[in-house]
Amino acid sequence: MKLSKEQFVKHVNHYEQMLNQENEILNVLGGICEWAPSNWINSFYDLFSEMCELEENPAFGTSLDWFCFDTDFGKYDNIIKLKEEDDGAISEIKIDSAAALYDYLVTYEIPSYEKEN
């Protein structure tokens, strides 16, 4: 992860704002159309996602993809279930904000050597 928690939260929130503004503009225009801002927004997300350096699951993408697109930035179905290795218990983690996602990532997904650097 090349971003601090503050930077990560700022960029997730900025990306969400960009998508919301794009949707408002498209609604005013009367539907979906091709236009340059969509490409810029997608490029922003691609760069931001690369800065996070998350492992990608070929079938599901990254946890950032899940948070932004599957949960609508933590609004829906925002629970991650983890199986504890030592006793097999299942714990649930609610990821309802960019800050909660960052905490989850640095605790469970980012290798420990990266946390130390």
3-class secondary-structure state, position 61: strand
DSSP β-bridge partners for residue 80: 93
pLDDT tens, 83-95? 777 777 888 999 9
CB-based burial, 67-91: b 16+ in 10 Å, e otherwise: bbeebebbeeebebeeeeeeeeeee
- At residue 110, φ and ψ (nearest 5 deg) are -85, 130
Structure tokens at 89: 């218990």
Overall number of domains in the chain = 1
**DSSP strand E in 5-105: where?**
79-83, 90-94
For strands 79-83 and 90-94, give the pairing. antiparallel
The model's pLDDT over 11-26, given as tens digits with 9 standing for 90+, comes to 999 999 999 988 888 8
Range of the domain at 35: 5-116
Instruction: Please provide the DSSP assignment of 91-103 as one string.
Output: EEEE--SHHHHHH
pTM over 0.85: no
- Give Cβ neighbours of residue 102 (< 8 Å, ≥ 6 apart): 5, 8, 9
Share of the chain above pLDDT 70, in %: 89
